[in-house]
Amino acid sequence: MSGEVSSTSPVLGTRFATTAQQHLRILKRYKRIAMVGLSANPYRPSHFAALYMQAAGYQIFPVNPREKEIVGRCCYASLDAVPPPLEIVDIFRESSAVPGIVDEAIAAGARVIWMQLGVIHEQAATRVLAAGLEVVMDRCVKIEHARFFGGLSTLGLNAGVLSARKPAPMP
Residue 8 lies in a domain: no
Residue 92 lies in a domain: yes
Residue 39 lies in a domain: yes
Residue 124 lies in a domain: yes
Cα within 13 Å of Cα(160), Cβ side: 0
pLDDT confidence band for 13 (50 / 70 / 90): confident
pTM of the prediction?
A: 0.84
The domain total for the chain is 1
Residue 6 lies in a domain: no
Domain that includes residue 83, residue range: 20-149
Q: What is the pLDDT of residues 72-117, one digit of tens each?
A: 999 999 999 999 999 999 999 999 999 999 999 999 999 999 999 9
Count of beta carbons in the 10 Å neighbourhood of residue 101: 24
Q: What is the pLDDT of residue 134?
A: 97
Residue 107 lies in a domain: yes
Q: At 37, which CATH number?
A: 3.40.50.720
Residue 69 lies in a domain: yes
Judged against a pLDDT cut of 70, whether residue 152 lies above it is answered with no
Residue 167 lies in a domain: no
Q: Tell me the DSSP string of 25-58.
A: HHHHH--EEEEET--S-TTSHHHHHHHHHHHTT-
